[in-house]
Amino acid sequence: MRIKSRKTQIDVDDLVQSIQECPKGKKIKIQRHKRKALSNSIRSSSLKINQHTSIHFINIGVANRILSIDKSSKTVTCEPDVTIEELVDELLPYNLLPTVIPEFKCLTIGGILAGAGLESSSFHYGQFSDSLIEATYILSNGQIITCSPTKDSDLFYGALGSCGTFGLLIRAKLHVLEIPSNCFVRCNYHITNQPIEKFPSFINQEDYIDAIVFLKSTVIITGQRIDEVSIPKNERIQRFSRAWDPWYYQHVKQICNKNVICEYIPLKDYLFRYDRGAFWMGRYPINPLQDKVYYFPAFTRNFINLFPLGGYNIISRTILSPLFTTASLYRRLHSSSTKMISDTLLIQDIYIPISKSKEFLSFLQSGQLFTNDDEILEPIWLCPIRSNSTPQKMSPHYVETKANDQDDLFINFGMWTHQRRWQLGSSGGKNATKILERETKKLGGRKMLYSQSFYSREEWSTIYDMQWYKQMKNKWDPDYIWGDLYDKIVQH
């Protein structure tokens, strides 16, 4: 079954003309529709909005139309500002699903392809970008080019993870999966103190695998897609999308105490289970008194936590639910200064080869990131992801050659925290990020580039192939109209 192709919402001719009118020496800044103002990026842009003399603005418009779905070939074609939730909602009536669904509803297809995106199916399918079949870009000279693995493959692969520095994506065609109707996920919870060693034993049995590392133990979460009729009678259905439902990480933490080993979750609730509370970063604004009351007696702290905005509880998460979606939390994050973010927050996703992941986890748990004994990194998210040797050279899961079977997997470490002593002017988050960057490089890992980075040019060039990048820029964007990746990523 194929749905009728829809007309694009992007005014391609107007975009081409606007790009061609860019004066020599200026950089392009894309003005997207206000509906799509959200971004996963927490970097400051190197293109200063107030410096109008150096910026040429173009407007891409809404750009959120799904153009076609072909069930027979299991493909979908869409514009770049379709959100991952919109894509899932459009595909589910056809019993189709993206191979990888990054966990935040507001992320856009174009943003994920330009950056990076993974989730608990990534041990099978790699990054979201690995499902790309065909992409259409507008180049800096106004030329429209459609590329694939067999046509202009250097642009097709090279643009992935390059943060839009080769061209403007206007259309993407993706491979999708066929799934059971009325689909649920049967989740099993495995408590262990050896998550890295346990991961390989689940690889061939499951549809989904991830883990959360708490202070005393780790919970590995495995999942299988099933249809509703396969759920045993009288089994409790667990949901995470309603205002009063628990935040997922808190639910998993309680599982450690309740000895729950299996439960059934509606598919969409599972896919976006981390959206409410943004994994666990929502715990900081839901408890704004945390830093101030830390030195109070435990009884006083527990009493404060009974009240809304005193801490995480059913009252606060229900009444204030709209404030703690990822979209809402992003708006608050983006209203903060870059200085505030770098001083007070550590927000990083880092891919480490599985052969080095145990060493990296030990490093994180050793406290070497911090200068004070009361600073703790907890929880930590673990997500296995299949590596890729196609020339996605800027992507964190890229490997040039696979020397052995262990090179087939990375472990993504999601590290998102605020420490009580990290106040404006402390440089706490920045210092921890720099330590992480050094350890990551030492162990042959890479980081997602949505986060703040502090590499020197020399360090950057030892991680990424700058000779290749310059050759690509000379071919596809010789005037650097779309900017330079290092300047775009690194905080100077």
Please count the other Cβ atoms lying within 10 Å of the Cβ belonging to residue 36: 20
CATH of region 336-454 = 3.30.70.2520
What fold does the segment set 12-179 form as a domain?
3.30.465
pLDDT for 308 equals: 54
pLDDT for 49 equals: 43
Structure tokens at 9: 């919402």
pLDDT for 336 equals: 83
- pLDDT tens by residue, the chain, 492 residues: 565 556 668 889 999 999 998 888 888 888 765 545 456 666 655 444 444 458 888 888 889 999 999 999 999 999 999 999 999 999 999 999 999 999 999 999 999 999 999 999 999 999 999 999 999 999 999 999 999 999 999 999 999 999 999 999 999 999 999 999 999 999 999 999 999 999 999 988 899 999 999 998 899 999 999 999 999 998 889 999 999 999 999 999 988 777 668 999 999 999 999 999 999 998 888 775 555 544 445 555 555 555 555 577 788 888 888 888 888 888 888 888 888 889 999 999 999 999 999 999 999 999 899 888 888 999 999 999 999 999 999 999 999 876 555 568 999 999 999 998 888 888 999 999 999 999 999 999 999 999 999 999 999 999 999 999 999 999 999 999 999 999 999 976
Residue position matching structure tokens 């990290």:
422
Among 160, 93, 121, 174, CA closest to 396 = 160
Give CA–CA dist 261/341, Å, rounded: 38
pLDDT for 313 equals: 78
Structure tokens at 170: 């206007």
The pTM (predicted TM-score) of the whole model is: 0.91
pLDDT for 303 equals: 57
pLDDT for 312 equals: 79
Q: Which amino acid is at 6?
A: R
Q: Which residues touch 394 (CB under 8 Å, ≥6 apart)?
A: 158, 160, 161, 162, 163, 449, 464, 469, 485
User: How many residues appear in the chain?
Assistant: 492
User: Residue 98, SS3?
Assistant: strand
The ranges assigned to domains in the chain are 12-179, 183-283, 336-454
pLDDT for 290 equals: 58
List the helix and strand counts (H, then E) for the chain.
18, 16
332-341: long-range contacts at Cβ-Cβ below 8 A with a sequence spacing of 24 or more?
Answer: 332/285, 333/42, 334/38, 334/39, 334/42, 338/43, 338/44, 338/452, 338/491, 339/424, 340/424, 341/42, 341/429, 341/452
pLDDT for 17 equals: 92
Contact 413, 360 (CB under 8 A): yes
User: Residue 306, SS3?
Assistant: coil
Contact 230, 264 (CB under 8 A): no
Give CA–CA dist 285/320, Å, rounded: 11
Contact 399, 340 (CB under 8 A): no
Q: Which amino acid is at 397?
A: H
Q: Which residues touch 453 (CB under 8 Å, ≥6 apart)?
A: 43, 433, 437, 447, 489, 490, 491
